[in-house]
Structure 1
Amino acid sequence: MLSSARGFWGRHRRKILFSLGVAGVGYAAYRLYETHQRKLVRVEQRAQEERAADELIKNQLQTHFENVQRISDTTTLPFAMHYLRSRIMEELDISHLTERLLQGKGESSTLTPKEKYDTWEKIKILSFTRTVCSIWATTMLSLYVRVQVTILGRHLYLDFARVTDGAHLQEESDAFSKNGHKDFLATADYLATYGINALITKMQHAATEILKEKQLKDPMNMDQVLQTMLQILDQFMGLCIDNSWINYLVPENANLYAQLMAVSSSGFDESSLLKDVRKLDQLMSETRIVLSSDDFINIMERSLRKIAGVVIEDLAIQIGTPIPPSGLPLAKLLARVAQLSLPLLEEPNKNKHIQIIRSMPEVELFYTFLYANMPQET
């Protein structure tokens, strides 16, 4: 038996070893294949988890974007517009001039012809200044506040995302009171508080330059009134060398602004404001960069021209009666031109001009890209 087994082993030794070797190689290859498949499954699972996490963050980003825009609509912008209206009406009041003309009517007039002429000229300049200033201020404040809350919303989201690793965002009401955020939102009042006088002075200078050749008796149709307003806007922007108009909206120096706020307003916590000035300076610097960008200047110019066109449509409606092709004497248009500023400075939820700006596709696209593409570390 043993000898026959040895004989069988001797005769088939090569075949047996070859078979065992093939089987071993096949088993090893199978194990390697199985391990590779498990790795592929794990990789795919991780990829799916990452896609799900990215989608969650994307959805949260969109939701948060909508939330910070609502803050602009319900708090920041309404308060800023209310103060802006009172300042423009106060600084560009023409009622005393019209009363002077009324008192000077009749044979017993105490006004000389030159005094009458000079008064009419002042009314002409101030009427256009008030309305064009209102067009610019309303448009720019609306755009500025949305830049502001978009920058702040992005900062808040990234701060929360780093802490929560993509978990649900915290409530905005807690976050806005920290790290200079609340103080940054308060800069929406800077235009009405500190920038308005310089704005009015330069706008009046532009209006004087454009209107100097336009006589009170000259007829003007609606298109000519529109072109006059656009020329004043262009002249004004031309006077603002190196985008100096930004200084009407954004404080130039965070430290000085913080000190002004701490001294002038009892609503500010002085120690907190001065402590958070570094964050405030960062947010203000980012805002200036956005406002000076070509993309923002593009939507600014489009918005200003759009609102100017709507204002002239309102003027034609107010006149009511058919307007001759040649137009009406400029003197007869001035009172209505001045009145156009009132609806421009209406509170946001009643202000159709702000709604028009907000619904412009190019404006919506700008803010969507701004929110999504701001640097994560600034």
Structure 2
Amino acid sequence: MMSVFSKVRNFVSRHRGKFIVSSILITSSIILTRYAQQKLKDWQEKEMLEFLERTRKQQHFENIGRTCNQTTMNLASSLVEALSHVTDTDKTIAELQANTGNKVIVWETLKIQLFTKLCCLIYAMSMLVIILRIQLSIIGGYLYKDPSSIPTEIQEKFLTLTQNLMNDGLNKISSKVTVVCKNILGQIDLKKPMRLSDIDALFWSLQAAIGDGEDNPIDNLKTYINLNFEEDKSSRNIYTLLLRDTLDLIESDEVKSLTTQCINRGFTQLADQLSEFFINNGPSSSKQNPEEVNLKKPLAKLLPIINGILSKNSFPDKFVQQLVSNERLHIFGANIYESLL
């Protein structure tokens, strides 16, 4: 029995170094395994927290987007209604139907009014959608960081900028566009045959003239929403910060480019809707034939068509739907939101 213990003792003595090394290796493996497991657990927890944060942020931003779209749709209807008062074509049409006064003069008046109305609608609607997207993205960014950062009354005061556009701003746009339409359309006889290409050229002429001068709506958007305030660079007042952020954005080249794109799309869509009547005397899904490009209609016959498109909200509804689904506008809003986080 003793000899067995002696043999074991002698074996351990001879291989003591190996046992020590093995013990160290085993202990180290256990420690490293536990360390790796803890690191993996920490990484998984961090990834989960980041995932939950991204999900919460995404849901918050999507809610802002839905709010923005719904608010836009509601205000778009109010804008169309306000425009009908600023440019009252119904009164002129009633005068034509009553067959009173000089019909040529009344038709000339209607011509100016209808083109003024459609131009104002495209410009004002584009400006409204972009301003709302800017404002709600800014508010969303601040509220995500700190839900109590902007009191409700400050939010309401900040959002009155859109009301400025629909009141004084709309009158300013109408005044400028009316002068432009008189200068350009006053030279076009009501009996002049118009091709589709002539209509497109007319729209581009109107856009170029509206974009000329210091009161250009695209370059001077702040004057149409009455965004004027005495800026204190050191002020941390939340309302001042909101106005400062808005001003920086609307004066940026990106917003000017985005506004131009929206306006261009508006005139393109209007030309597309007119072409349906221009070619087929009514809406149709048939494709345009090469021979139809040269079809002509007197300008006077296009006026009732334009009035119908505007009066039945066919064009305004389609245009605002196109604007709220504009992918570039969504990306722009997301960039504003992210920049404030």
TM-score (norm 1): 0.70
In structure 2, give the amino acid aligned to 1:312: A
Q: Is the 8 A contact 1:84 1:345 kept in 2?
A: no
Matched-pair identity in %: 20
1:253 aligned residue: 229
Q: Any conservation in 2 of the 1:139–1:304 contact (CA below 8 Å)?
A: yes
2:305 matches 1:309: no
Contact 1:131 1:338 in 2 (8 A): no
- The amino acid that maps onto 1:251 is L
Q: Does 1:71 align with 2:60?
A: no
SS of equivalent to 1:243? coil
Instruction: Report the Cα distance in structure 1 between the residues aligned to 2:85 and 2:230, rounded to whole angstroms.
Output: 28
Q: Label 1:343 to 1:55 Cα distance change in 2 as closer, same or farther (>3 A).
A: farther
Alignment partner, residue 334 of structure 1: 303
The alignment's C-alpha RMSD in Å is: 3.6
Structure 2 residue corresponding to 1:126, chosen from 88, 108, 113 = 113
Q: Choose 137-146 or 232-241, whichever is displaced more.
A: 232-241
Alignment match, 2:84: 89
Corresponding position: 1:199 with 2:186: no
The range that moved more, 301-310 or 90-99, is 90-99
- Once the two structures are TM-superposed, the CA of residue 244 in structure 1 deviates from its matched residue by 0.5
Deviation of 1:129 (Å): 0.9
SS of residue paired to 2:211: helix
Q: 1:155 deviation in Å? A: 1.9
Deviation at 1:177, TM superposition (A): 5.1
Equivalent position SS for 2:32: helix
Q: Structure 1 residues 250, 34: CA separation in 2 closer, same or farther (over 3 Å shift)?
A: farther
CA displacement 1:279-299 (0-9 Å, x = unmatched): 223223222333333333333
The change in CA–CA distance for 1:361 and 1:72 in structure 2 (over 3 A counts) is: closer
TM-superposition CA deviations, 1:54-104 (whole Å, max 9, x none): 111111122112212222233x33443343223211111134445556667
Partner SS, residue 303 of structure 2 = helix
CA contact (8 A) 1:135 1:341 kept: no
Residue 363 (structure 1) aligned with residue 337 (structure 2): no
Counterpart position of 1:218: 192
Matched positions, count: 317
Matched residue of 2:281: which SS? coil
For residues 62 and 278 of structure 1, do their structure 2 counterparts lie closer, same or farther at Cα, with a shift above 3 Å needed? same
The equivalences for 1:95-244 within 5 A come to 95-98=90-93, 111=102, 119-160=106-147, 178=152, 180-239=154-213, 240=215, 243-244=219-220
Partner Cα separation in structure 1 for residue 131 and residue 114 of structure 2: 25
Whole-Å separation in 1 of the counterparts to 2:244 and 2:313: 29
Deviation larger for 290-299 or 279-288: 290-299
Matched-pair contact (CA < 8 Å) for 1:134–1:345: no
Q: What stretches of structure 1 of length at least 5 have no aligned partner?
A: 1-11, 161-173, 256-276
Query: Cα–Cα, structure 1 residues 346 and 220, in superposed 2: closer, same or farther, change >3 Å?
Result: closer
Q: CA deviation at 1:130?
A: 0.8
